[in-house]
Amino acid sequence: MADSTEKIKVLVLGDSGVGKTTLVNLVSNTNSKPSWTVGCNVEVIYHESREYSEFIEMWDVGGSLVHENSRALFLRGCIYHGLILVHDLTNSKSYTNMIRWALEFAQHGEKSKRLSREAEIGLLQGIDIPKLIVGTKQDFLWSRSRYTTDRTGLIGDLNAQLISVNCLDHLQYKNSYQQQQIANFFDQVIKHKKNASNRFNRPFRSTTESPAPSTSRYFSSLDLGFSF
């Protein structure tokens, strides 16, 4: 088990309305109807693989610009071991905005002046925890074009895996490629957390080894429901 003095936390960021809460409900196998997130919601899942059996907290932070100041409370002074960036496959702006979210995370929610491209690249490459980019609303791709053009030219600097998923189809998700990739991501998160604890916070280094098959199961939920 991981060090019980520090919980394993995965932060979920993205524009308002892209489906972050629906994604978290899918991963945690929760069938409740998602609502607009004000502040932060936390879902606790039990992740089990050949190597690890751990509880993981998924911190779903509201993406509305109206709550920008309150959102910073969850980015300052909090330690996260994994980062999931969510975008809407039918909304090109939400894909481009992932860079803004990653930079906000790298700067711990602090507002800053316009950065140079070199500074942005440095911040993105300095995010040394496992990262996963998830495109939602895959079920709309039959009727709409997929917008994944990297207009910033910076998505590659995140060094994150990309997957797409239909968050509303829980049956299709079960035992799917997407479920396996998310489970593998959780394995990386746990491994990073253990390495950070055992090696004095040395940066995570991805490996080329094929991860062992793993699964994640819903255990319980905690709705913080902060209002500001």
pLDDT in tens, 79-125: 999 999 999 998 889 988 999 999 999 998 776 668 898 999 999 99
pTM of the model: 0.80
Query: Can you list the domains of the chain with their CATH numbers?
Result: 8-39+49-200 (3.40.50.300)
Cα gap 41→55, rounded to integer Å: 16
Find the angle CA(40)-CA(147)-CA(80) to the nearest 5 degrees: 30
> pLDDT tens digits, residue range 169-179?
999 999 999 99
| 40-49, strands of its sheet edge to edge | 161-164, 131-136, 82-88, 8-14, 53-61, 40-49, 214-222
Q: What does DSSP say about strands 82-88 and 131-136: parallel, antiparallel, or unpaired?
A: parallel
> pLDDT tens digits, residue range 181-205?
999 999 999 999 988 876 544 444 4
